[in-house]
């Protein structure tokens, strides 16, 4: 038995460090690495599931070419020659912009991102801007603070009040929960704001359930009262912020009665919450990502940031508005990774609009070859039916994956790639902490699986793309962390010794010195937001579909929300047979209204498509809301993005996936 260190590659807040035991080229156990302070005591079932996933019989183990009679096994030389020929033909006839590179976060390894340099070495490509999950919030916090930084989790022990706003750590960030509960034991009050009665809400002192997409109005209503009752931190506002006068004038328009009508919360509750937040200092806010997946999502985050600034809950122990923590990324050589030195041509489209972009925008030149990795866009991107049609029209599609996902099944060439533990890589993909983990190659992959880096190296040789590195993986990793080595003295050798906390990472962001905005202040009024097409002041705007009377007339009246489940992470992780059957969750009132009972089969539809699944009646769901967990594949019958749209949020080129009204009926 041999023991190694590695880390979880999943797109999870926590990024656990692992101790992996291996015998006879087989992973025997995955346990938490006690050297990691945050995740060292336990890992979740998703982490343990890696063991069986590595050896699942349905793992893709050799390249596949689609023929008239279905997929046929082929050899790597043949597969690479075909891919190279298609790319070469597209380059010569239409140029590099006819190549589409689509990727996402299905695997958190740093080396997987080197594909971007491959396309730059070919002259460029068409690639997305923005994201499906979090970029509205990133844009919002960048406008307000200049950068996106979170408080260290152990700083919660300094908080007197913790507001978990739209985040469900009990299901999706399990290692944050002990820090929250410990602070509560020390006397902090815990409030959860979430339309759904989540597992975290069940642990709180108070659960506040505003209507979906009304959180921004709630924050502005709280700001209105805090200013009116002179509960603001005048020193912070005077010395560390800009634009307060304009903000104060704007929030006059959000009195508690008006906000009550928008949120569905009694005005007295809004007033009490505002007073509590302003007086129970220091107060920490932990933001989730669901509340910014609406067409007003970026402004929602900005309104909540403003609350913290008003009350001086910024830069103080126990305070902050923690959304994400991008402290490690600046120490990675992203310019090299992206191939900026190769001066590539690039054509951008907003990621959530992939279907519409393929149908209408990406015409000159048309996309000829698509390369997809770490992603399953045919069920992950909104308006899936339109995307399936547009995807089918691309002449040649290459998908690299470990399993035959919906997207792989629609490809012309499928390349089997390695999983973590079968390859060497570096992991720093936590959204909340600042650990880096090195993961060695521990076991051989099954069949003929190859690391994407090797696939790209081979293709680069075939295509004469000399700008792509042909270095061993270890040397490339060392090159990619050169900024970390130069500025923090951390080498790959040190990272090999075990999980390492980024030296100098800030536990309490913005405690000293200026903010990273242009004027060095917290921006209540952000000209940068205005310059990029949003508004300088955060504001509340009703979500797009809510105001559509035609939809209401057609019966589309209920919010369709698709949060992350506890047992899986996105479709890349929800493999056939691994989860219980999909379910449609709805309140007893809504079930009764539609004659639905527990176990019935229901159809949930939007103007774009539908899904069908078994009904689960739950008092945890608000009355006008239908909930289905995300990640289901098409064959399950419950692929949620058949219903969602390809619309964008108000900033950050992000998918407004939760702006979706639906109707429900018994099948």
Q: Which stretches of the chain bind ligand SF4, using CB under 6 A?
A: 8, 10, 12, 14-16, 39, 43-44, 46-47, 174
In the complex, what is the shortest distance from the CB of residue 437 to ligand SF4, in angstroms, rounded to a whole number? 10
CB 630 within 8 A of CB 655: no
What Å distances lie between residue 165 and 326, 432, 491, CA to CA?
Answer: 20, 15, 38
In the complex, what is the shortest distance from the CB of residue 42 to ligand SF4, in angstroms, rounded to a whole number? 9
Nearer to ligand SF4, 344 or 563 (CB): 563
In the complex, what is the shortest distance from the CB of residue 23 to ligand SF4, in angstroms, rounded to a whole number? 21
Q: Which residue has the tokens 């001086």?
A: 312
With H, G, I as helix, E, B as strand and everything else as coil, classify residue 514.
coil
Q: State the Cα–Cα distance between residues 374 and 399, nearest whole angstrom.
A: 9
- Residue 293: how many other CB atoms lie within 10 Å: 30
Residues in CB range of 621: below 8 A, 6 or more apart: 196, 197, 585, 586, 587, 590, 627
Nearer to ligand SF4, 16 or 127 (CB): 16
Angle in degrees, 0-180, between the axes of helices 215-228 and 297-310, rounded to the nearest 10:
20
Measured from each CB, the residue nearest to ligand SF4 is 47
CB 141 within 8 A of CB 305: yes
Q: State the Cα–Cα distance between residues 645 and 232, nearest whole angstrom.
A: 40
In the complex, what is the shortest distance from the CB of residue 194 to ligand SF4, in angstroms, rounded to a whole number? 20
In the complex, what is the shortest distance from the CB of residue 573 to ligand SF4, in angstroms, rounded to a whole number? 8
Nearer to ligand SF4, 10 or 219 (CB): 10
Nearer to ligand SF4, 273 or 431 (CB): 431
Residues in CB range of 57: below 8 A, 6 or more apart: none
In the complex, what is the shortest distance from the CB of residue 404 to ligand SF4, in angstroms, rounded to a whole number? 23
DSSP track, 285-317: EEE-SGGGSSTTHHHHHHHHHHHHHHTT-SSST
In the complex, what is the shortest distance from the CB of residue 602 to ligand SF4, in angstroms, rounded to a whole number? 30
In the complex, what is the shortest distance from the CB of residue 49 to ligand SF4, in angstroms, rounded to a whole number? 9
Sign of CA dihedral 388, 297, 539, 265: positive
Q: State the Cα–Cα distance between residues 273 and 143, nearest whole angstrom.
A: 26
Residues in CB range of 640: below 8 A, 6 or more apart: 560, 562, 611, 628, 629, 630, 631, 632
Q: Supply 365's token pair.
A: 């030149």
In the complex, what is the shortest distance from the CB of residue 12 to ligand SF4, in angstroms, rounded to a whole number? 3
In the complex, what is the shortest distance from the CB of residue 570 to ligand SF4, in angstroms, rounded to a whole number? 11
DSSP track, 140-192: HHHHHHSS-----GGGGGG-SEEEEES--HHHH-TTTHHHHHHHHHTT-EEEE
- Residue 485: how many other CB atoms lie within 10 Å: 15
- Residue 464: how many other CB atoms lie within 10 Å: 11
In the complex, what is the shortest distance from the CB of residue 654 to ligand SF4, in angstroms, rounded to a whole number? 22
In the complex, what is the shortest distance from the CB of residue 46 to ligand SF4, in angstroms, rounded to a whole number? 4
**Residue environment code for 165-178, b if the CB has 16+ CB neighbours within 10 A, otherwise e:** bbbbbbbbbbbbbe
> 561: closest CA among 542, 534, 587?
587
Q: Which residue has the tokens 């999870």?
A: 12
- How many C-alpha atoms does 93 have within 13 Å on its Cβ side? 13
Nearer to ligand SF4, 288 or 318 (CB): 288
Q: Which residue has the tokens 């629609």?
A: 410
Residues in CB range of 195: below 8 A, 6 or more apart: 209, 210, 211, 212, 559, 561, 622, 625
In the complex, what is the shortest distance from the CB of residue 10 to ligand SF4, in angstroms, rounded to a whole number? 4
């Amino acid at each position: 038995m041999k023991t190694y260190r590695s880390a979880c590659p999943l797109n999870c807040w926590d990024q656990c460090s692992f101790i992996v035991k291996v015998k006879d080229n087989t992973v025997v156990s995955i346990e938490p690495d006690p050297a990691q302070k945050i995740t060292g005591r336990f890992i979740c079932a998703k982490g343990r599931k890696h063991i069986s996933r590595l050896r699942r019989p349905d793992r893709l183990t050799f390249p596949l070419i689609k023929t008239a009679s279905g997929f046929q096994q082929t050899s790597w030389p043949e597969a690479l020659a075909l891919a190279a020929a298609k790319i070469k033909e597209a380059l010569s006839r239409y140029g590099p912009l006819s190549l589409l590179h689509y990727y996402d976060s299905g695997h958190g390894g740093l080396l997987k991102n080197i594909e971007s340099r491959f396309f730059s070495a070919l002259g460029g490509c068409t690639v997305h801007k923005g994201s499906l999950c979090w970029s509205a919030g990133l844009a919002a916090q960048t406008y307000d603070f200049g950068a996106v930084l979170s408080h260290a989790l152990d700083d919660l022990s300094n908080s007197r009040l913790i507001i978990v706003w739209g985040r469900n750590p009990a299901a999706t960030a399990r290692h944050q929960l002990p820090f929250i509960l410990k602070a509560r034991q020390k006397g902090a009050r815990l409030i959860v704001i979430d339309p759904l009665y989540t597992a975290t809400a069940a642990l709180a002192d108070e659960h506040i359930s505003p209507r979906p997409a009304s959180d921004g109005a709630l924050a502005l209503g709280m700001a209105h009262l805090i200013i009116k009752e002179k509960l603001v931190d005048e020193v912070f506002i005077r010395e560390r912020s800009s634009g307060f006068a304009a903000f104060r004038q704007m929030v006059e328009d959000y009195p508690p009665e008006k906000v009550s009508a928008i949120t569905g919360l009694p005005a007295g509750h809004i007033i009490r919450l505002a007073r509590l937040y302003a007086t129970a200092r220091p107060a920490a806010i932990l933001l989730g990502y669901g509340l910014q997946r609406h067409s007003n999502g970026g402004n929602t985050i900005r309104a909540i940031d403003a609350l913290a600034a008003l009350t001086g809950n910024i830069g103080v122990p126990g305070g902050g508005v923690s959304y994400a923590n991008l402290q490690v990324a600046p120490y990675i050589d992203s310019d090299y990774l992206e191939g900026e030195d190769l001066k590539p041509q690039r054509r951008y489209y907003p990621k959530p609009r992939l279907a519409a972009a393929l149908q209408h925008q990406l015409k000159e030149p048309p996309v000829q070859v698509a390369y997809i990795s770490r992603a399953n866009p045919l069920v992950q991107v909104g308006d899936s039916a339109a995307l399936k049609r547009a995807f089918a029209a691309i002449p040649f599609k290459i998908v690299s994956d470990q399993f035959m996902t919906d997207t792989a099944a629609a490809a012309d060439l499928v390349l089997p790639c390695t999983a973590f533990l079968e390859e060497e890589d570096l992991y720093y993909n936590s959204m909340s902490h600042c650990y880096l983990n090195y993961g060695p190659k521990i076991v051989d992959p099954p069949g003929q699986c190859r690391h994407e880096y090797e696939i790209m190296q081979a293709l680069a040789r075939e295509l004469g793309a000399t700008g792509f590195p042909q270095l061993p993986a270890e040397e490339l990793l060392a090159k990619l962390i050169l900024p970390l080595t130069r500025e923090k003295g951390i080498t790959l050798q040190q990272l090999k010794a075990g999980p390492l906390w980024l030296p100098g990472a800030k536990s309490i962001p913005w405690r000293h010195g200026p903010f990273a905005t242009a004027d060095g202040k917290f921006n209540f009024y952000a000209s940068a937001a205005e310059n990029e097409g949003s508004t300088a002041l955060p504001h509340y705007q009703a979500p797009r579909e809510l105001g559509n009377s035609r939809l209401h007339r057609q019966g589309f009246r209920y919010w369709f929300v698709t949060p992350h489940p506890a047992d899986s992470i996105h479709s890349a992780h929800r493999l056939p047979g691994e989860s219980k059957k999909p379910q449609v969750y709805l309140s007893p009132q809504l079930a009764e209204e539609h004659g639905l009972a527990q176990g019935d089969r229901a159809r949930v539809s939007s103007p774009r498509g539908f899904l069908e699944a078994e009904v689960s009646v739950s008092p945890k769901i608000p009355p006008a809301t239908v909930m289905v967990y995300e990640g289901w594949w098409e064959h399950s019958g419950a692929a949620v993005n058949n219903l969602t749209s390809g619309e964008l949020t108000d900033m950050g080129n992000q998918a407004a996936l939760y702006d979706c009204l639906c109707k429900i009926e018994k099948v």
